[in-house]
């Protein structure tokens, strides 16, 4: 059974834990999720499509990510999630946290923080190995293609990511 740490409103670990996806959180309790904008040299972003049998948001497109396990740091979680979901292996020298937001959903008893990381890499679509039990399909998409999916409601967290999609490229020393 996987456990997640419970954080307070200030994003500090409380010392309490919850069972993964047990959305019966008390007011003021939060969990932490990580997402990764993974860009190739051309600036295209790796997106994945959720499995059709997912209880929540089946067949929606998203960027890789997931929950931070109990005792795990955000940086460790994003590297693990990217490797598990895509088969791509990065280091924190190849990326950085570019944004954090908090979502309060007391009616759903699901409050959370999301740390969004950005990674640039020299990879092709052929290098990607998706996690078959979690991911239906994947592709490299331009920010404009993601925007079209988002406007149709087919891309998760689109309005939280929209301003982060168009960013300058990376230089050789960052590669």
How far apart, in Å, are the Cα atoms of 142 and each of 46, 66, 68, 139, 167?
9, 22, 28, 10, 11
pLDDT digits (tens, 9 = 90+) for 101-140: 999 987 778 899 999 999 999 999 999 999 888 899 999 9
The band of 175, judged by pLDDT with boundaries at 50, 70 and 90, is very low
Write out pLDDT tens, residues 48-70: 999 999 888 999 999 999 999 99
Cβ contact 74:33 at 8 Å: no
* CA-CA-CA-CA torsion sign (50, 8, 72, 93): positive
How far is Cα 131 from Cα 127, in angstroms, rounded to an integer? 13
CA torsion sign for 22, 23, 25, 29 is: positive
Residue 58 has φ and ψ, to the nearest 5°, of: -60, 140
- Are 156 and 61 contacting, i.e. CB atoms less than 8 angstroms apart? yes
99 CB-contact burial (10 Å; exposed 0-12 / middle 13-18 / buried 19+): middle
pLDDT at residue 171, as a whole number: 42
Q: Is the pLDDT of residue 74 over 80?
A: yes
Q: For the chain, what is the mean pLDDT?
A: 91
Give the pLDDT of residue 167.
67
pTM: 0.90
* Nearest of 54, 80, 37, 69 to residue 166 by alpha carbon: 37
């Amino acid at each position: 059974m996987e456990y997640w740490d419970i954080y307070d409103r200030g994003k500090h670990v409380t010392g309490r834990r919850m069972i993964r996806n047990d959305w019966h959180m008390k007011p003021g309790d939060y969990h932490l999720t990580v997402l990764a904008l993974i860009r190739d040299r051309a600036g295209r972003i790796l997106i994945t499509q959720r499995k059709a049998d997912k209880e929540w948001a089946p067949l929606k497109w998203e960027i890789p990510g997931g929950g931070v396990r109990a005792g795990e740091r955000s940086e460790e979680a994003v590297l693990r999630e990217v490797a598990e979901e895509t088969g791509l292996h990065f280091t924190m020298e190849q990326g950085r946290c570019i944004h954090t937001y908090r979502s309060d959903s007391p009616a759903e008893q699901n409050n959370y923080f999301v740390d969004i990381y950005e990674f640039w890499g020299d990879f092709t679509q052929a290098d990607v190995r998706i996690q078959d039990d979690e991911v239906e399909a994947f592709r490299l998409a331009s920010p404009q293609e993601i925007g079209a999916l988002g406007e149709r409601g087919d891309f998760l967290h689109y309005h939280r990511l929209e301003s982060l999609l168009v960013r300058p490229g990376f230089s050789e020393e960052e590669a």
